[in-house]
Structure 1
């Protein structure tokens, strides 16, 4: 397989509407990819804006590169257009289900022809992958989204942040304000020359610069047109229209009663360190200046929910609590599943980004919870849901100054009750009864001429009326009111994403809006649109229909399942098991050849144990003698050779190690191996809680990264955190349902959680699931591992109903030795070697040994697994080794993580399992020192 250099470029928009991505390339002194050109075009109608950002990235190096661009969008904003340059011309993406987009993307990627994909990940964050960026060449992407502008009594405000933007070789910015009489007022100007000129019925401002560095952001106040009705229509079907109606709630604000005792929940997970703490403290300054005497229960949330600490604020003095917050350490993942109500609290203030990456929210607060967001990467939908369901308020510090935020917190929630006249309207958003902020845009579907209507709102027990004039509604053909409506509907549906999964997909695909369930994809070849049954963009539609017509509806994508191969493999395993092996005296074994013409070729390397030591006291049961036998397993602790480990070698207590870890972390913040190694070290010292906290921090390093999550799941399994193992593997399965290994990992976690019937059902579904040709080829041979595990469930659990498992898959196959290795990275080749007491190696090029050792298929491009079986062990010592044959560089997820499950007497009633988890030491090893000893059997 051709070696691909994969570099992860992470761009976080520095403020609410920042549009200039700053690429950060891990482990590189200089950025190998530069932003060559940025073009931003925004059109504004009333308080609705549509922005299209076009970025060109240049690769000055002599290598083909791959980049991943991740960026947040503000509350209520989603990507609704994406394009990628194909043969020098931008091609628009089309919507497909999220899991299908990823499956197609990875299938085509294996042919070295990458499509483009835009997907929504956790929170309101979006991700696109750019490949290939050719050597000395460039790639261009285009992103479109719609937003509602914030407004005051007299103005709408457009804000574009250029915070931390670097010099851009080619830069173009254009803003057009349509159908507005008064001159817009520029409050912040990127270079001083940006100004609006009247052109027909719109105001236009534009600058084009070379080697441009913005001096400040762009902030424009747009005077409201008092003659406008505030209603915009877009034709739907028949006599129906999509509408957007702006309703100003100019009725008196009512304040809620003040609480005497509050609970502050402070998210101090690792991602909490990325929040805007200054804004949060300013908010609390204002809060305690307004609520001078209050009792506070202060609780910390990370991967656990810590016991509350009590503080008394008197005469507005909250210095003790403030000092506690200022001195907090931020570490661990975030588990909303750990949240609990706090006794005596009259209301809650939750400071968090709302992204729970280590457990699911499972509580409804009985007292009002006010959720406070200060980072643009937040999960706004979850934070708003928590507030709305409990009767609290959502405070967005990203978009409000301190006093405005305090006013929002203090007021009684305002709820939308629909229209007084009960007109012929469909699909109103916000939903009737929903909490809204002032002012509100109401979206829906209606007939065109509704006349003068009255919108109803409730504050506490009092109702208010607001006139909305549809009689002078402005009809537009070039404004995507339909997509704005669709986005509001998706926002409502995503409050319960699993329950509304199909409906979200339907709306997202119909209107081309990226959601948790739908992505946008661009393919290079029209034949791939046909093969994967994806309707292409308009420019390819004629060719697509011609190919489909020529094939007369024949299914071009011949997806395959594993069932027939599983039947064959079961027969083969039975034959092997029933064979009597008689080793000869002569010990002449074949010379190991290069592994695969399709894999990266590395020189054959000799075995050395210089990078490992026997772990005498690493885990309590590693050297235990197996019950009722003379056999034993000894696992090896593969030591990290990272330079940072020298700072920990003489530290004795777990607490001192943890403090040193925090002290050094800024230097290794984006290096996953740092958290892996320190978590292992803390576990050896006996502090399981600190070890788990550091491990869970891996989940905070990236959004929806299956490679990091697989690493977490391996260590959770090894350490017996089976409930969390199940949650992590379920998340990976949600992201990658097209991947057989995702299903298998989840099934194994179900077994660990003593749910064998559910696990058996998952195994059965894997065999019947259909896979693309590329993924099927990648995982060729996995059915051998599945057959062993299916029959082990049946053998070990007599109460399991196996009647729905085909009899052709059933076999009683107990073995003395079974070893299975898995790894966390795709496109990676790691080999399992087992050397028997006679010195014979069982490996990828010598899969059968004279004493009956058997190795499964060699996995060179996926996540594994590889399996060694020996029915009858002979006396002596067996060595288990792994060889890192080749792997794709992926800086963000670090070196490959390997999990080896080592079994004695598998499926014969005396089954014992030990687990080793370690990382590739490839970066620190000589080419002639490639194998790692991970364990030994002794019979």
Structure 2
């Protein structure tokens, strides 16, 4: 330690000089951080600090508090004649687990002298407790949060003793040892700065024409820039480029994302005379495409229900008895005309009672639906169109038009569900879970975990699986283990989103917000991060914060560099529901008026998953035991997969509407593995069922499954719609 320790002893002696003459025992509290990140602390340095102190203050009453995600233990000791052996033995015996929170420390400290031994890496919130006494903050870990340590010191008028931070550039920690990165100092004129890329041997620094510098690497690389006694660290995002410049205060880093803005295509709509440019049509036309049709629609009735203003289905919500406002007849037939691929269907009669079925139309085969009223309807169809026309264009017609081939897709076939319900009765088996089952009780199992952790902790699903193992018998231990996901600064996106989904499922919304905020911070180019932050804020009752984020996604202001259009439907539904549920508590002046009115469904389903790389299919079985399948596969929906990989959205919405949707529903999932063979991470799939959506009695239920084995078939959810 040499010169540095000599300075430390002199400084420490001056700080403690007032205690030398003290006759009464000193009241001391030692707050000892036992979170996972502290397991590599330098105990010799911590003990050197305490030994120096107790040589100066001979008599003391000492309370030792251990903490990680919460206060874990409290021990009282008496120090006489400078002997603190019992305290040292106790401090040597602690195990390290969990993330870090300072939230409760202030409640256990009542004054006196306080020693807070921590690295400052508080990842469970941003608490800055008031200790009410003289505070010394001591760090002996190589990786620490300087800002957090300084803030704690400022808020308590305390002192920081940081064994790992030296004052001069030539005495600083060797970045080669700390970051094992490529040295780029001296490149492009950086004579007074050093730049490193963690784990990337091909990074290059280039100067630009404006006196700045650019570094190229790969997504996920960590850039460390050192200038004078300043150091900045930032993760390189999907842009693969980071710009930075040297200023008087140090190195300024700013990530720049460049994306090509594509011209918006002209919007086409169907009319009685074929496709026309929307702007060229001289009358109002309502139209929806296949993207607007609920994936849960098992009949054509469900495909139309609630999609058009002034359009109502008949008895039992039958499309063949559709009525459109305004109607041009009082005594005659009031039913509208239905036209499929240009062919008018026989009209049902409102007075004769004759009903012609439309059940033969497969909702999965619908390309678009257009409603024509008034002059737009009678131009071609005359009196038949007097009560309005519903134009249905099928994918069959579109396919034939494009290829010249005819493909019979019009009718539903072979979709009667006759299988037994797939219940996931299999118990997850992994080597580490086998070991844990060898424990005779919860204490033994936890001790096994503390030993095995060093071997398995880098496996993406380890902490989630082990947390789930303990959750039924000890939720406190389970949550501590789960919080370790936040302790790892290099946790990948899939694992962080798994933490978010698991936290939502167990209704730990504080943890969910922490996971969402970490994703937002580390992966700002994934639009799902913005959605998850908003959802977590909403669940915590922070409705205005949630609305602001949702609305920012709709307007693009949340990040002008990103394309949020792929989530417009889901986000728009959330905004409508939030505005109409908590309108009195919200400022909605910046929300587009089209989102001020709510939508109502018998139920709304939302699927969330953690792995963009995962391929799976979900089978929906309706109360009539008819099923349809939604695929998250490259073959089944390549467009959806490409959009997800580009923009990072992993949420899908399904609406259940209509009287024939009431009853029992089953959702089964088949797992096809990851597209990337080297990716062995597990997939977590969550289904949220929101019953009576948009109504005063709205409620929700959540289901979560873990998928690992290729070909695995399990039941995702089973529920009843009233």
TM bucket, shorter chain = 0.5 to 0.7
Correspondences of 1:585-664 after superposition (within 5 Å)? 612-613=424-425, 639-649=427-437, 654-664=442-452
Counterpart Cα distance in 2 of 1:886 and 1:773:
34
Counterpart Cα distance in 1 of 2:560 and 2:168:
50
Q: Is 1:369 equivalent to 2:104 in the alignment?
A: no
Give the match for residue 530 of structure 2. Answer: 743
CA deviations over 1:270-312 (Å, ceiling 9, x no partner):
1111222343234434443443322211111201134632111
CA deviations over 1:763-805 (Å, ceiling 9, x no partner):
11111116999963xx653212112212221333342454532
Give the match for residue 275 of structure 1. Answer: 41
Q: Is 1:729 equivalent to 2:516 in the alignment?
A: yes
Structure 1 residues 701 and 152: alpha-carbon distance in aligned structure 2, compared to 1, 3 A threshold: closer
Structure 1 residues 151 and 369: alpha-carbon distance in aligned structure 2, compared to 1, 3 A threshold: closer
Cα contact 2:439–2:448 (8 A) shared by 1: no
Counterpart Cα distance in 2 of 1:560 and 1:365:
58
- Within the candidate set 515, 518, 529, 2:253 is matched to 518
Give the match for residue 299 of structure 1. Answer: 65
Give the match for residue 931 of structure 1. Answer: 713
Q: Is 1:352 equivalent to 2:113 in the alignment?
A: no
CA deviations over 1:322-357 (Å, ceiling 9, x no partner):
222222121111113343164444222222221111
Cα contact 1:682–1:690 (8 A) shared by 2: yes
- Within the candidate set 809, 814, 831, 2:600 is matched to 814
SS state at 1:784 partner: helix
CA deviations over 1:535-572 (Å, ceiling 9, x no partner):
xxxxxxxxxxxxxxxxxxxxx655999xx9xx988987
Cα contact 1:834–1:881 (8 A) shared by 2: yes
Deviation, 1:916, is: 2.2
Structure 1 residues 481 and 677: alpha-carbon distance in aligned structure 2, compared to 1, 3 A threshold: closer
Structure 1 residues 811 and 732: alpha-carbon distance in aligned structure 2, compared to 1, 3 A threshold: same
Deviation, 1:836, is: 1.8
CA deviations over 1:243-295 (Å, ceiling 9, x no partner):
xxxxxx99x96753228122111110111112223432344344434433222
CA deviations over 1:47-89 (Å, ceiling 9, x no partner):
xxxxxxxxxxxxxxxxxxxxxxxxxxxxxxxxxxxxxxxxxxx
Cα contact 2:704–2:716 (8 A) shared by 1: no
Correspondences of 1:128-527 after superposition (within 5 Å)? 255-258=16-19, 260-306=26-72, 308-340=74-106, 342-387=108-153, 390-398=156-164, 479-480=191-192, 487=227, 509-511=245-247, 518=253
| Higher RCO (CA < 8 A, seq sep 6+) | 1
Structure 1 residues 715 and 581: alpha-carbon distance in aligned structure 2, compared to 1, 3 A threshold: farther
Deviation, 1:871, is: 0.7
Give the match for residue 867 of structure 1. Answer: 653
Counterpart Cα distance in 2 of 1:644 and 1:367:
45
Cα contact 1:898–1:919 (8 A) shared by 2: yes
Cα contact 1:814–1:907 (8 A) shared by 2: yes
Counterpart Cα distance in 2 of 1:514 and 1:841:
61
Counterpart Cα distance in 2 of 1:930 and 1:711:
19
CA deviations over 1:883-916 (Å, ceiling 9, x no partner):
4445366999942333321222222222221122
Cα contact 2:128–2:155 (8 A) shared by 1: no
Larger radius of gyration: 2
CA deviations over 1:391-448 (Å, ceiling 9, x no partner):
4433333479xxxxxxxxxxxxxxxxxxxxxxxxxxxxxxxxxxx899999xxxxxxx
Counterpart Cα distance in 1 of 2:535 and 2:421:
31
Counterpart Cα distance in 1 of 2:6 and 2:531:
58
SS state at 1:340 partner: helix
Deviation, 1:935, is: 1.1
Counterpart Cα distance in 2 of 1:267 and 1:891:
37
Structure 1 residues 772 and 888: alpha-carbon distance in aligned structure 2, compared to 1, 3 A threshold: farther
Deviation, 1:736, is: 3.8
Give the match for residue 117 of structure 1. Answer: none
Structure 1 residues 439 and 790: alpha-carbon distance in aligned structure 2, compared to 1, 3 A threshold: closer
SS state at 2:478 partner: helix
Structure 1 residues 769 and 388: alpha-carbon distance in aligned structure 2, compared to 1, 3 A threshold: same
Number of matched pairs: 528
Structure 1 stretches of 5 or more lacking a match? Answer: 1-15, 17-148, 155-248, 401-435, 442-476, 498-505, 522-528, 533-555, 592-605, 614-637, 848-855
Q: Is 1:795 equivalent to 2:601 in the alignment?
A: no
Structure 1 residues 885 and 390: alpha-carbon distance in aligned structure 2, compared to 1, 3 A threshold: same
Q: Is 1:681 equivalent to 2:469 in the alignment?
A: yes
Cα contact 1:608–1:932 (8 A) shared by 2: no
Counterpart Cα distance in 2 of 1:732 and 1:801:
27
Counterpart Cα distance in 2 of 1:694 and 1:840:
42
Structure 1 residues 797 and 932: alpha-carbon distance in aligned structure 2, compared to 1, 3 A threshold: same
Deviation, 1:507, is: 12
Counterpart Cα distance in 2 of 1:289 and 1:721:
46
Counterpart Cα distance in 1 of 2:5 and 2:440:
60
Counterpart Cα distance in 1 of 2:261 and 2:676:
30
Cα contact 2:438–2:445 (8 A) shared by 1: no
SS state at 2:541 partner: coil
Structure 1 residues 870 and 336: alpha-carbon distance in aligned structure 2, compared to 1, 3 A threshold: same
Counterpart Cα distance in 2 of 1:915 and 1:818:
12
Structure 1 residues 830 and 807: alpha-carbon distance in aligned structure 2, compared to 1, 3 A threshold: farther
Structure 1 residues 675 and 815: alpha-carbon distance in aligned structure 2, compared to 1, 3 A threshold: same
Cα contact 1:559–1:773 (8 A) shared by 2: no
Give the match for residue 369 of structure 2. Answer: none
Structure 1 residues 829 and 790: alpha-carbon distance in aligned structure 2, compared to 1, 3 A threshold: farther
Cα contact 1:699–1:708 (8 A) shared by 2: no
CA deviations over 1:736-785 (Å, ceiling 9, x no partner):
44433222112211221123333222211111116999963xx6532121
Counterpart Cα distance in 2 of 1:761 and 1:385:
29
Counterpart Cα distance in 2 of 1:280 and 1:890:
46
Cα contact 2:112–2:132 (8 A) shared by 1: no
Structure-2-length-normalised TM-score: 0.61
SS state at 1:747 partner: helix
CA deviations over 1:212-242 (Å, ceiling 9, x no partner):
xxxxxxxxxxxxxxxxxxxxxxxxxxxxxxx
Query: Going by fraction, where is strand more abundant, 1 or 2?
Result: 1
SS state at 1:284 partner: helix
Give the match for residue 577 of structure 1. Answer: 306
Structure 1 residues 842 and 786: alpha-carbon distance in aligned structure 2, compared to 1, 3 A threshold: farther
Deviation, 1:380, is: 2.9
SS state at 1:376 partner: coil
Structure 1 residues 575 and 295: alpha-carbon distance in aligned structure 2, compared to 1, 3 A threshold: same
SS state at 1:337 partner: coil
Deviation, 1:720, is: 2.3
Give the match for residue 671 of structure 1. Answer: 459
Structure 1 residues 663 and 780: alpha-carbon distance in aligned structure 2, compared to 1, 3 A threshold: same
SS state at 1:816 partner: strand
Cα contact 2:67–2:73 (8 A) shared by 1: no
SS state at 2:521 partner: helix
Cα contact 1:559–1:770 (8 A) shared by 2: no
Counterpart Cα distance in 2 of 1:327 and 1:713:
33
Structure 1 residues 576 and 283: alpha-carbon distance in aligned structure 2, compared to 1, 3 A threshold: same
